[in-house]
Amino acid sequence: MGSIGSSHHEAMEKWHLLRNLATQIERVFVKRTAKEVEHNRFRLKATIKGVRLLANQGQAFRGHDESESSLNDGNFKQVRKSYERMASDDDRVILQNSPRNAKYISLSIQKQLLNILGNRVRQMIREEVDDAKFCILVNVADKEQMFIILRFVDRHSFIQERFLKIVSVSDTTSLTLKLEIVKVLSMFNLQVENMRGQGYDRASNMSGIWNGLHALFLEDCPYAYYLHCFAHRLQLALNGAAKGVHDTYRFFSTLLLVVNFMDSSAKRKGALKAAREDEILNLIALGNLQTDIIFLIILALC
C-alpha cells in the first residue's frame, strides 16, 4: 500500500527480510565462523604433518636464520613450504593467506605438538608394558638431564627396551633422582612395586650402599636388584686394560692429541685431506693400490 517510501512498504520489506533466515546476522556469523574453523583446522593439519615428519626422522626444526629474506629458514618452514607447493590452488591460498594469529608455525606451537606426540608414544609404550614386570635403566648427563629407559618382556615373550623420557633435574643427588623417577612412573601408572631391576653406573649417588639411588628403591621394592651398566663396565674394562699396556695407552693418548689438533682447525683438515689425496694418486701411479678400493677411499674423503 502506498508509494515505495511509505511506512507500509518499509514494514513489508522488513517482514520479508525477517522471514528470510539466510540473511539473519546470526546465520551469517555462524556460517563465516564455521568456514574460519575449517581453514584453521587445515592450517593446523599442515603443521602437524610437518612436525610428525621431522620428529620421525629425528631432524632439527629451527634454522640458523629464519627471517623472511633467508634462503634456508629451517627444516620446519621448508617442509611447510613444500606442502604449500604440492597443495591445490584453493588450499595454497588458505595456507598463504593465514592471519598472523592463526599461522600455527610458532615455536610454542611446535613444542606443544611435539609434547602431544611424545605423550602418545609414551602411552603406547605403557600399553606395551601392560602388567608385566619391568626394569629401569637410568643415565645422568653433564647438563643435569636424566634419561629413563624401560626394559621389559612383552606379551610375545620378547625382551624390549623403550626410551621413555628425558627429565631435567635441579641436582643429581640420589633422593632428587628417585623422586623424579617415581613421578615419571606414576604419570603412566607404573608401580615401583613391579620393578625387578635397576641399571646405573658406579657413581656414588647411583650405586652407594646406604644412600645410593638403588638403595632407596630397594626400600620400596626388595626385588629391584641393581646391576652395573654393562656398556659402562666394558668401557672401564677397556680403559683399565689399555692403561696396563704401556704401548697401547701411549698410542691412544697420542691419537687423541692428533685428532683434537686436526679437528680444531678447518685449514688443517683441508691440508690433511689434500695430502691424503696426493698420497692416493702416488700409490695408484706406482700400482701399489688396488683399484677396487679406490672408489671407497674417494667416498671416505668426500
pLDDT at 129 over 90: yes
Mean pLDDT over residues 258-282, rounded?
Answer: 85
Q: Give residue for cell 706406482.
A: 286
The model's pLDDT over 36-75, given as tens digits with 9 standing for 90+, comes to: 888 888 999 999 999 999 999 989 898 888 787 887 888 9
pLDDT at 196 over 90: yes
Beta bridge partners of 162: 150
pLDDT at 293 over 60: no
**Whole-structure pTM over 0.75, yes or no?**
no
CA-nearest of 211, 233, 208, 213 to 224 is 213
- Phi and psi, residue 268, nearest 5°: -65, -40
Q: Which residue has the higher pLDDT, 91 or 230?
A: 91
CA-nearest of 113, 106, 119 to 62 is 106
The fold of the 128-228 domain, in CATH, is Nucleotidyltransferase; domain 5 (3.30.420)
Q: Give residue for cell 600455527.
A: 104
CA-nearest of 118, 123, 122, 81 to 98 is 81
pLDDT at 292 over 60: no
CB 147 within 8 A of CB 136: no
CA-nearest of 8, 25, 29, 7 to 17 is 25
Q: Which pLDDT belongs to residue 25?
A: 62
Q: Which pLDDT belongs to residue 50?
A: 92
Start-to-end Cα distance in the chain: 92
Domain map (residue ranges) of the chain: 7-105, 128-228, 265-301
Distances (CA, A) of 221 to 52, 112, 133, 217, 218: 38, 35, 12, 6, 5
Distance CA 150, CA 134 (A): 7
- Phi and psi, residue 212, nearest 5°: -70, 165
Q: Which pLDDT belongs to residue 21?
A: 62
Range with the poorest average pLDDT among 133-137, 227-231, 240-244, 291-295: 291-295
CB 178 within 8 A of CB 163: no
Q: Which pLDDT belongs to residue 194?
A: 93
Work out the mean pLDDT of the chain and round it to a whole number: 83
Mean pLDDT over residues 255-269, rounded?
Answer: 86
Mean pLDDT over residues 244-249, rounded?
Answer: 81
Q: Which pLDDT belongs to residue 81?
A: 87
The model's pLDDT over 167-191, given as tens digits with 9 standing for 90+, comes to: 988 888 999 999 999 999 999 999 9
| 290: confidence class by pLDDT, cuts 50, 70, 90 | low
